Amino acid sequence: MERLDKRVAGSLTRFYVVALCVVALLTMSGLFLIRRTIRNLNHDSRVVNVAGRQRMLSQRLTKLAVLKINSFEHRDTVSFNSLLALWKDSHEDLVSRKLPLEKGFVTWKSQPLDTMFRELAPVFDHIYQNLRIISSDSAGLAGKQRALAEVLTNEPRFLAQMDRIVFQFDKESFERLENLERIEWILDLMTILVLVAEGLLIFRPVVNTTRRVVRMLTESEDALQLSNQRLKEANIQLVETQKELLRLEEEKYELQLAEDRVRAGALIEGQEEERKRFALELHDGIGQMLTGLKLHAEKLKAMQFHDEKHQKRVEQLVTLIQDIIQTTRQVSFNLMPSVLSDFGLASALKLLCQQTADLSGIKVLFEGETGERILMSRPMEIGLYRIAQEALNNAVKHANADQIKIKLEQNKNRIVLEIADDGKGFLISNLKSEGQFLTRNGMENIRTRTQLLNGEIEIISKVDSGTKLVVRVDL
């Protein structure tokens, strides 16, 4: 059976690869031919339009010349010289086989058109030179009249030749369309032939091969049933063994989880101690030095400078030092707020809400008793504060919320911390199916801290209905 499977799979693979290659080759060839033909047809209407406009411009120039020489009043406000320049430029563009467009040039290749333009060149030059004489202020009236007579004499020849040129443009465009239609018929015929060949050479052998395989599988079904009966008896023993192995694996997994919690707790405790030390160094060290620097700068600001630029620079220096002091205090507070150890978790959360509201512009509310401090261990206070800090940061960055609310309450021997927002929310299934979502939004950190506190975490969220995070910890 294994050799037969390999043989059938190899045969089917070769058939399908050949079929796909043929279809792909025909498709790419058709696309290439059609695209090349369409590229040749691009802007044909623009070329015909410009060629037809040359006839109109020549007639308009002749009319303006007649009106100008005979001093007739008219309402045509266009400049004769600008119209003449446009007529000349358009003719030169047609002769050079390059029409300027918004995104480049339109070019074409046609021996009959080149011959027609060469035949038209003497007539165009003669009309153009006489129109230049008519537009000139230095030429006399008699000279302008002679020039007008020449223009009127040569204009019918110009118009007739331009008619032939326009018809030639249209004829060549139509021929390219007919060529494209022939290509489409050829491609359709080739596609039909390929489909017929696929039906005869691929699908029919596939059906026959499948029929043989099914017959062989049917014949081997009885033997498989007998083997399955024996396997069932062996599976009963395997199940018992697997249950025992599963129990041992669960015990090992629980032990590993306990070890991970111990390591995570030690790591987080070390991080908090390092944050506390760094916050004290910022506040007592760099903060004091910056305060002294500010006092010296303010003394320097009180001095009178002859140059106002120096006075402004000193004022900017004082402002910059004040901003650095404020930023240092904010960093020190984020690392380890002193109010947490002095007044407890409720006061620290209230201050965190106020500062977040000031920095983000979002309405952040706190609900809880700040007068009486809840008695809890130091690690529990820090853990709950970090959970609230991380959840609040997620809501500000990702929820697009207008209002965020933090609630802290004590129910007998249980602390309940809620962080709720009215933002865009998300699907709870994303937390389970997308592992990156946990790390990206800090949820893994919140979950780890909750587990270290032996607490429970609950996330309630719907799309466009906000998000609520509830953490419950027993005292």
Q: pTM value?
A: 0.40
Residue 66 lies in a domain: yes
- End position of a domain, from candidates 182, 210, 238: 210
The confidence score (pLDDT) of residue 70 equals 77
The domain tally of the chain equals 2
Give residue 102's domain range: 2-210
The confidence score (pLDDT) of residue 214 equals 76
Do 345 and 202 share a domain, yes or no?
A: no
Residue 55 lies in a domain: yes
Please report which helix (H) or strand (E) contains residue 328, including its range: helix 308-335
How far apart are alpha carbons 157 and 28 in whole angstroms? 48
- Taking phi over 0 as left and psi of -120 to 50 as alpha, with beta for the rest, 466 belongs to left
Per run of 10 residues, the mean pLDDT along the chain (length 475 residues) is 60 70 73 67 67 79 79 73 82 77 66 84 85 79 82 85 83 78 80 77 73 78 81 84 84 74 61 59 62 68 69 75 71 64 78 83 84 75 83 85 86 86 80 48 77 84 84 86
The confidence score (pLDDT) of residue 232 equals 85
Task: Residue 429: give its domain's CATH number.
Answer: 3.30.565.10
- End position of a domain, from candidates 194, 210, 226: 210
- Taking phi over 0 as left and psi of -120 to 50 as alpha, with beta for the rest, 300 belongs to alpha
Residue 435 lies in a domain: yes
- End position of a domain, from candidates 178, 193, 210: 210
How far apart are alpha carbons 98 and 47 in whole angstroms? 10
The confidence score (pLDDT) of residue 331 equals 67
Residue 77 lies in a domain: yes
Task: Residue 110: give its domain's CATH number.
Answer: 1.20.1710
Do 36 and 175 share a domain, yes or no?
A: yes
Residue 328 lies in a domain: no
How far apart are alpha carbons 226 and 223 in whole angstroms? 5
The confidence score (pLDDT) of residue 57 equals 81
Nearest residue to 184 (alpha-carbon basis) of 34, 24, 26: 34
Radius of gyration of the chain (CA): 44
The confidence score (pLDDT) of residue 437 equals 43
How far apart are alpha carbons 410 and 475 in whole angstroms? 9
Residue 299 lies in a domain: no
Residue 240 lies in a domain: no
Residue 289 lies in a domain: no
Do 51 and 190 share a domain, yes or no?
A: yes
